[in-house]
Structure 1
Amino acid sequence: MPSWRSIAVVAALALGMITPGVAHAAPPANDDFDASTPITSLPFTTQVDRTEATRALDDPKNCVQWPAEGSVWFHHTAAEDGIYRVTTDGSDLDVKLSVLSGTRGELQSVGCSGPGGPFTFRMTAGQTYYFMAADGYDGRGATFKMSLQRMAPVANDDFANAQQVTSLPFSAPQPDFTLASAEPDEPWTPACTGVREGTPTVWYTYTPTTTQWVHGQINNSGPVLGVYEGSSLTDLRNLGCVNPSYYDGRSFQFVAGRTYRLQLQYSFFSADNATLRLSEAAPLQTSLSRVFDERSIFQDVNLSVYHQNQYNQPVSTEWDFGDGTVLPPSTDTAKSHRYTKDGSYTVTVKATSEDGRTATSSSPVVVKTHDVGIAKLATPGSARAGDQKPVNVQVSNTRYLEKGTTVTLYKWGEYGWQSIGTLSLDVPAHPIRKVTFPFSYTFTAEDAVRGKANFRATVSLPYPAFDALPLDNEAISTATTVRPAATAASATAN
């Protein structure tokens, strides 16, 4: 059967499109699919001048979906299953090398290489693969170079050939996953991000001599680490995985004498410079904190825990409030509790990470219910401007000796309540007795103009104590009638 290029040449001659007497360089010998150059032995290297290469009407588009201008062709029939790598190093401009399989007019893409970048793929014994070199984005290039060779897989590609980890810490650079594969019965970890069944893997194995927690981490965006127990691919039990998004890694408990299988699986996030690191995990650390130094029986005690080195895994916490109340483990990091009696308590938390590491933390809690109140604010019924008269504030307290209790006395004036005095005294606890805070006040002409004076008293406790029932911590007096100062005549009359 004549090729499409042969038909095109005949048509051109018939229409007088080729001018007699003008010399034209011949296209390369492998310009057409049917004349593709056979690659009979490997490794194979060639160089072709593509200056006069043409395009057949049924040439497939190149691997960036552009028309395959200036195509030349090669083919190779694989003698055995294996990994092969093709490169176009040294070619001019943006040449695109498409790897295809099938028959003319029904070719299927296997992949693409160029410019310069290698393409690694698998060949099946007896299958013929075609290589079409064509122009890329940047136009025609004269020189095309190509090399094809069979590659050895990475040493620990298969489960049976896993690389042994003999001690920690251990690190290994990310392998060339193009030289790795997935075995038929290999497990995969769909719970992890960016992986799918059948993607390439490599294997490691580790048998610890002591029971320990092992921290696995992959720096940079990288592959997924799956951790398994078992002796063969078909009986592996998954213990978890380290996602590319786990920037601080994850830890696992490894029991002495047991063999653990570590599967590094290619992910969509794999970077060329990622590194697998294994080391002994740092201890779990838990810190318990409270909001206030002291609370009353009428208030909740608010506590929270902060965990360090949890390595992207849940941590459950058991809460013991020290008064007989113990809450079952949960992942809550904050709790509130109300005590029914005053006293000093110790709150203890025990945290357990998913991999079995534990940590404890405790904090003292003081529950002390203070309650002072203003029992009486005694003010004079009347006064004249210039008179100095006593103003007494009686404070009650039935709970604790309150040292440094402060009473502040105010009088209403032009700018609202204005402080006119402060006293601090110790107030002992007593069921009946009150402590008097003695103030005195000299009434002013302004008070006489107003005709009355009102007083206000407040009582407060020094920090960190605070009053649990503060509604009786303030009192406002009835008005004191204030008259102008007495004149000499009125004084004589009196």
Structure 2
Amino acid sequence: MPSARSLVVATAVLMGVLAPGVAHAAPPSNDDFSTSTQVTTLPFGDEQDIGGATRSADDPYWCQTSVDRSVWYSYTPTEDVLLRATTAGSSQSMIMSANTGLRGELRGVDEACSTGGSSPITFRAKAGTTYHFAVGGYGGTLKFALDRVAPAPNDDFAQAQSVTLPFTAQPDVTVASSEADEPESSCVYDEQRPSVWYSYTAPAEALSVVPKVQGSTSAVTVYSGSDITALTELTCADGNTVQRAIFRTTPGTTYHLRFTAAHRNYQPISVSLAEAPPLQPYMGVSGNGNTVYSDVELHPSSGNSVDGELIVDWNFGDGTTLTGQKGSVSHRYQADGTYAVTMKATSADGRTATVTGQIKIETHDVGITKFVVPTSARAGQSKPITVHVANTRYLEKTSVTLYRSNGSSWDEVGQLTLDVAAHPTRKVQFPFSYTFTPEDLAMGKVAFRAVASLQYPAQDARRLDNEVISIATTVRPAAVTNSAMN
């Protein structure tokens, strides 16, 4: 029979096997900065489980702000070289940075931080400088690779890539650099950003060309000139679509395009060059009705933002013109009719297009010329009220509404609708009859209001003469009859 002591020992051993969290993986050999893996030859690759890795208190935080564990690699190039490190193929997302300096005083290499996924870091390394790579995450299998990469073939102005229209490319700016004499650009706030160069030679005929760039922190700038120290900016566009670009070519002239972007980008970046589409201007028309008493407002526009503000020559179709106009214009026609309006538009880069539209001027205008109301009346007495309406243009179906004042507002008495023919002097009479009430007597006086309106869709061009308020009618008590007196 086993002793009590042996049973306790066996139980403890069994619990040690079964209890979670008791056994821990050993830290990797390069867990600490002081024991980093020294890379001596390129290309270099390494694969290891970092589940047991730790993080030292003096590890840099500028890139690995939330990393639980990390391992270290270091490399000292013997010549200036473009390095690229990657964690592609790792079982989990890894965070990686390149640093220089001594322990506790490490400085991050500019743009050499990958904050997740398997995005590489690429940077220019100086001969004799030791670069320390901190790579970490939350565990899993790490695959780390380091190698030199070739610079972009069109990194320098002198090696600009010659292109023809249409042209599209997705340059890798992580292998580009900035030359000492890089020209300034109105679309770039940091002229030290890496860049690649393209050149375009215009054909025999003049063209309007649109350079575009897609991707944040990117820009494309077009220059004229053949020497990097004496370039003239023609136009530029940025990847945030804040500024769009277009330029007009001179036959046979070579233009240089400088594409700039930050090393680290969170989306694909592309640059393109294409002939501008034909100018397609639009003529907008507005105004307070198209009549001889109002201005017609004409608004030139274009659906393409690169066209810029249009310069327009106007022919209004009535013998009058305006040339070299920017923005909206207004015009007043002197007679009714249908007019062909021509808009010849020119874009900022010199493309032209002509648009013709029709504007119909139709003036409807009736007016109240006379309002006949009694000067006095007795309560209970009915008396005629007549509204005279004039019209000199078109046959109009006209409604006249008669209102009576109640002291604070207007009560409708009635409405008549009649055809009012166009005539230079004849007036149409709208006859009403009104019976004066005890309420009118209580007020002592009553005023009337007449309002003339046209049948929809016709609208009166001058409504100031469509409404008349009468002089108040005096209201007296009803007459006393003889029978009432007896």
- Give the paired residue count: 446
Corresponding residue number in structure 1 for 2:398: 406
Structure 2 residue identity aligned to 1:287: M
Structure 2 residue identity aligned to 1:155: P
Corresponding residue number in structure 2 for 1:78: 78
My pick for the range that moved more, 249-258 or 471-480, is: 471-480
User: SS of 1:160's equivalent?
Assistant: helix
- Give TM-score scaled by structure 1 length: 0.70
1:292 aligned to which of 264, 288, 291: 288
CA RMSD of aligned residues (A): 4.8
Corresponding residue number in structure 2 for 1:129: 130
Contact 1:381–1:480 at 8 Å: present in 2 too? yes
Gaps of 5+ in 1: 1-24
Contact 1:60–1:68 at 8 Å: present in 2 too? no
Contact 2:313–2:321 at 8 Å: present in 1 too? no
Gaps of 5+ in 2: 1-25
In structure 1, C-alpha distance between the alignment counterparts of 2:283 and 2:29, rounded to whole Å: 76
Structure 1 residue identity aligned to 2:351: R
1:246 aligned to which of 225, 235, 241: 241
Question: CA offsets, 1:240-298, max 9 Å, x none?
Answer: 1111222794332223322121211104894432332332222141323122333455x
In structure 2, C-alpha distance between the alignment counterparts of 1:453 and 1:176, rounded to whole Å: 88
Corresponding residue number in structure 1 for 2:229: 234
Structure 2 residue identity aligned to 1:403: L
Corresponding residue number in structure 2 for 1:162: 160
Corresponding residue number in structure 2 for 1:152: 150
Structure 1 residue identity aligned to 2:132: F
My pick for the range that moved more, 47-56 or 221-230, is: 47-56
Instruction: Give matches, 1:117-266, under 5 Å.
Output: 117-124=119-126, 126-133=127-134, 136=136, 138=138, 146-168=144-166, 170-172=167-169, 174-189=170-185, 191-192=186-187, 195-209=189-203, 210-219=205-214, 221=216, 223-246=218-241, 249-266=244-261
Structure 1 residue identity aligned to 2:155: D
In structure 2, C-alpha distance between the alignment counterparts of 1:310 and 1:366, rounded to whole Å: 32
User: SS of 1:311's equivalent?
Assistant: helix
Structure 2 residue identity aligned to 1:251: I
In structure 2, C-alpha distance between the alignment counterparts of 1:163 and 1:489, rounded to whole Å: 118
Structure 1 residue identity aligned to 2:161: Q
Distance verdict in 2 for CA 1:481–1:426, change over 3 Å: same
Instruction: Kindly state the Cα deviation for residue 238 of structure 1 after the two structures are TM-superposed.
Output: 0.8
User: SS of 2:83's equivalent?
Assistant: strand
- Percent identity reads 30
User: SS of 2:246's equivalent?
Assistant: strand
In structure 1, C-alpha distance between the alignment counterparts of 2:54 and 2:369, rounded to whole Å: 106
In structure 2, C-alpha distance between the alignment counterparts of 1:26 and 1:488, rounded to whole Å: 129
Instruction: Give matches, 1:396-435, under 5 Å.
Output: 400-404=392-396, 406=398, 408=400, 410=402, 412=404, 416-426=410-420, 428=422, 430=424, 433-435=425-427
Structure 2 residue identity aligned to 1:293: G
Corresponding residue number in structure 2 for 1:4: none
In structure 2, C-alpha distance between the alignment counterparts of 1:313 and 1:179, rounded to whole Å: 35
In structure 2, C-alpha distance between the alignment counterparts of 1:197 and 1:326, rounded to whole Å: 45
Contact 2:291–2:461 at 8 Å: present in 1 too? no
Corresponding residue number in structure 1 for 2:44: 44
Structure 1 residue identity aligned to 2:268: N
User: SS of 1:42's equivalent?
Assistant: coil
Instruction: Kindly state the Cα deviation for residue 179 of structure 1 after the two structures are TM-superposed.
Output: 0.8
1:372 aligned to which of 367, 373, 376: 367
User: SS of 2:229's equivalent?
Assistant: helix
Contact 2:208–2:276 at 8 Å: present in 1 too? yes
In structure 2, C-alpha distance between the alignment counterparts of 1:438 and 1:99, rounded to whole Å: 95
Corresponding residue number in structure 1 for 2:351: 357
Corresponding residue number in structure 1 for 2:8: none
- Give TM-score scaled by structure 2 length: 0.71
Distance verdict in 2 for CA 1:287–1:410, change over 3 Å: same
Question: CA offsets, 1:351-391, max 9 Å, x none?
Answer: 4433233445566474969573323526597699797x765
Corresponding residue number in structure 1 for 2:17: none
Instruction: Kindly state the Cα deviation for residue 410 of structure 1 after the two structures are TM-superposed.
Output: 2.2
Structure 1 residue identity aligned to 2:372: L
My pick for the range that moved more, 104-113 or 201-210, is: 104-113
In structure 2, C-alpha distance between the alignment counterparts of 1:355 and 1:222, rounded to whole Å: 26
Question: CA offsets, 1:329-357, max 9 Å, x none?
Answer: 44x4x455667x66767766554433233
Corresponding residue number in structure 2 for 1:439: 431
In structure 2, C-alpha distance between the alignment counterparts of 1:416 and 1:68, rounded to whole Å: 82
Question: CA offsets, 1:432-470, max 9 Å, x none?
Answer: x45241526485998999899865444445664525372
In structure 1, C-alpha distance between the alignment counterparts of 2:253 and 2:262, rounded to whole Å: 28
Corresponding residue number in structure 1 for 2:7: none
Instruction: Kindly state the Cα deviation for residue 52 of structure 1 after the two structures are TM-superposed.
Output: 9.4
Question: CA offsets, 1:391-447, max 9 Å, x none?
Answer: 5433456xx4452263625263989443434243445554xx452415264859989
Contact 2:307–2:347 at 8 Å: present in 1 too? no
Distance verdict in 2 for CA 1:395–1:482, change over 3 Å: farther
User: SS of 2:226's equivalent?
Assistant: coil
Instruction: Kindly state the Cα deviation for residue 53 of structure 1 after the two structures are TM-superposed.
Output: 8.6
In structure 1, C-alpha distance between the alignment counterparts of 2:96 and 2:147, rounded to whole Å: 15
Instruction: Kindly state the Cα deviation for residue 120 of structure 1 after the two structures are TM-superposed.
Output: 1.2
Corresponding residue number in structure 1 for 2:20: none
Instruction: Kindly state the Cα deviation for residue 152 of structure 1 after the two structures are TM-superposed.
Output: 0.9
Instruction: Kindly state the Cα deviation for residue 224 of structure 1 after the two structures are TM-superposed.
Output: 0.9
Distance verdict in 2 for CA 1:97–1:281, change over 3 Å: closer
In structure 2, C-alpha distance between the alignment counterparts of 1:245 and 1:99, rounded to whole Å: 29
Question: CA offsets, 1:173-199, max 9 Å, x none?
Answer: x3221111112212242x326x41111
Contact 2:375–2:472 at 8 Å: present in 1 too? no
